[in-house]
């Protein structure tokens, strides 16, 4: 965050921006809140297993952290002469990929790959309106632990939570 604040502080035009124009910064901070636990879980994995795995865990966490931040450096030196707008887009896609990857890593480290794949492929949801069990559709809106989706039995859209998953 200090690097981002330093870079933003070097541009006096930023002081004139309205709060809602900092959406990119807010997104980056939210992704950071998921990515850093992802780095930490790699180090903890090594710590739990000990021996040479401790070295691999800590080194792996450090390498992942470096790789996540390296495009920021590339953007600041305008590597390849792509320009700031292009680098901003590349960086946003890069950070979103890191956020999604870190969330998946945390899920796998918590529940195991078999459980995650099982939930993704076979999870059934009990409709809060008609009570029927149905497979979750791809179409739906995710909002934290809540999801807005249609029931395949009654065709009504409704909110479901983790308690509705069977």
Q: Which run of H or of E encompasses 9?
A: helix 2-9
- Give the residue extent of every domain in the chain: 2-120, 123-164
Kindly tell me if the per-residue pLDDT of 1 is higher than 70.
no
* Separation CA 17–CA 5 (nearest Å): 14
Tokens 């859209």 -> residue: 157
| Rounded percentage of the chain residues whose pLDDT exceeds 70 | 96
Query: Which of 30-39, 44-53, 62-71, 109-118 shows the lowest mean pLDDT across its residues?
Result: 109-118
CA 122 to chain CA centroid, nearest Å: 23
Q: Give me the phi and psi of 128, to 5 degrees please.
A: -70, -15
CA dist 73 → 9, 12, 87, 94 (Å):
17, 21, 10, 13
What contacts 129, CB < 8 A, 6 or more positions away? 151, 154, 156, 158
User: What residue ranges in the chain does DSSP mark as E strands?
Assistant: 124-126, 133-135, 141-143, 146-150, 157-160
What pLDDT is recorded for position 156? Answer: 92
pTM: predicted TM-score of the whole model, two decimal places: 0.62
Quickly state the pLDDT bin for 3 (edges 50, 70, 90).
low
Token look-up 């450090």 returns: 62
Tokens found for residue 98: 């890191």
> Is a pLDDT exceeding 90 seen at residue 77?
yes
3-state SS class at 157? strand
> Which of the two residues, 60 and 9, has the higher pLDDT score?
60
The owner of tokens 């998921």 is 34
């Amino acid at each position: 965050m200090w690097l981002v604040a330093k870079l933003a502080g070097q541009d006096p035009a930023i002081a004139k921006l309205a709060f809602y124009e900092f959406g990119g910064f807010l997104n980056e901070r939210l992704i950071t809140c998921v990515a850093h636990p992802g780095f930490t879980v790699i180090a903890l994995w090594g710590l739990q297993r000990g021996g040479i795995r401790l070295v691999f865990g800590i080194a792996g966490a450090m390498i992942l952290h470096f790789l996540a931040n390296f495009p920021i450096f590339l953007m600041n030196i305008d590597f390849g002469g792509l320009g700031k707008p292009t680098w901003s887009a590349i960086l946003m896609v890069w950070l979103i990929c890191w956020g999604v990857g870190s969330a998946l890593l945390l899920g796998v480290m918590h529940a195991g790959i078999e459980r995650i794949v099982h939930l993704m492929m076979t999870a059934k949801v009990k409709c809060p309106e008609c009570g029927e069990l149905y497979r979750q559709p791809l179409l739906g809106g995710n909002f934290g632990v809540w999801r807005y989706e249609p029931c395949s039995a009654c065709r009504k859209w409704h909110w479901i939570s983790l308690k509705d998953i069977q």
